Amino acid sequence: MRDRGSGAAPAPVTGDATGDSTGDSTGDCAGDFVIRYADETCPLAEGERRRFGRSDAEHDITVWEQVRGNTLSVVAGELWCTEGQVWVRNLSSAHELVVDGPGVVSTVLPPREPDRPGHACSVPWPQGSVHAPSTGSWRLDVGPATPDPALAPPPGPPPGPPPGPADARRVPRDLDPVARAVCAPVLAGRRDGAGEEEVSVALGLPRTTVRRHFARLADALGCEDPSAVDGPQLARVLLASPVLGTVRVPDVPEQHRDVAEAVCAPLLRGAPGPATYAEVAAVLGVSARTARRRVEALVEEYAGTVRALPGGLRPEDTLTAAVARLLVHRGKLQGSAGG
């Protein structure tokens, strides 16, 4: 809700799954709202709830562009209105939800943990949006059913180019579902991208068709031998570029490569976590104190990248574990290929 004194839109208020806030939520927002997606609108009145995702159940908001994909959850989240304020809760255990609006800092709702209700926050007033960058470019816009021109934010400068390295290549529109299906396992935390069979099942396409799509996608991305590129290779190329809107992860600097390999070795063997300082010290033949300094230097190199990823740092992770998992998932310890 807007602040009475300044007229500026405040940041979302975080709270539990019932909509009880952990901060002051006074204001003068009241009445019905509408949720807009693409060219569709859905009313949201006081006391009503609307779920959204790949589900096409009655009264749900269906994100149609994701129906045949596997990155967005069937039930991704829920919007509801109470006391003139719209709230959103993340019901997905696989991906984040991002809540933002003009003039406010985005709020990331991490994936729901097992046996927990899911993180929730208020949607900015007078205009806010909900999306999940790791699943696609869809967006739900939330605003009052009858907008008040006095509450509209002042016009800002024209939007500049998106951040990140420029890349002239673009995924052909009809191949976008294939590209996202290939990358989905990596974005969900697996080491490698999806192969032909997984993409075939996810999109309901014959494997021969998927193979042709792989070749076309590889050609569009400038791969040397498009017909020989498989799903995991495509995922690494896609995640190394800005074409999917994901965060690019730089290669491991040479001065950190040996410590990165030592830290990540347990993960590469299938262990649940990275190496300890003592284990790194034993591998490198240095003291535990030196091992700790070198691990901390590696973590500092990638800390900003980890925090910029969709979902950010998971609550159960240390920063060292998050960096190690990121390097493994993006193939940074296997030559120069990776994203």
**pLDDT (tens digit, 9 = 90+) per residue, 12-70?**
545 443 444 333 333 333 348 999 988 788 999 888 999 999 887 777 898 888 877 77
Q: Is the pTM of this model over 0.75?
A: no
Cα(163)–Cα(239) distance, integer angstroms: 15
The tokens describing 166, both together, are 């420029």
CATH of the domain at 239: 1.10.10
Q: Are 230 and 314 members of one domain?
A: no
Domain final residue, candidates 210, 244, 278: 244
Q: Are 231 and 280 members of one domain?
A: no
Cα(189)–Cα(329) distance, integer angstroms: 7
Cα(223)–Cα(336) distance, integer angstroms: 14
Cα(52)–Cα(36) distance, integer angstroms: 12
pLDDT at position 177 is 79
Q: Are 146 and 20 members of one domain?
A: yes
Range of the domain at 293: 254-329
CB 312 within 8 A of CB 110: yes
Q: Are 270 and 320 members of one domain?
A: yes
Residues near 57 by Cβ (< 8 Å), separated by ≥ 6? 51
Q: Are 235 and 269 members of one domain?
A: no
pLDDT at position 219 is 87
The tokens describing 264, both together, are 């990540």
Q: Are 97 and 179 members of one domain?
A: no
Our count of domains for the chain comes to 3
Instruction: Report if residue 286 sits inside a domain.
Output: yes
Q: Are 239 and 260 members of one domain?
A: no
Look at residues 216, 179, 210 and name the one whose alpha carbon lies nearest to residue 69.
179
Instruction: Report if residue 8 sits inside a domain.
Output: no
Distance from chain centroid for Cα 286: 38
Q: Are 216 and 306 members of one domain?
A: no
pLDDT digits (tens, 9 = 90+) for 246-304: 445 678 889 999 999 999 998 888 787 889 999 999 999 999 899 999 999 998 888 87
Q: Which amino acid is residue 156, in one-letter code?
A: G
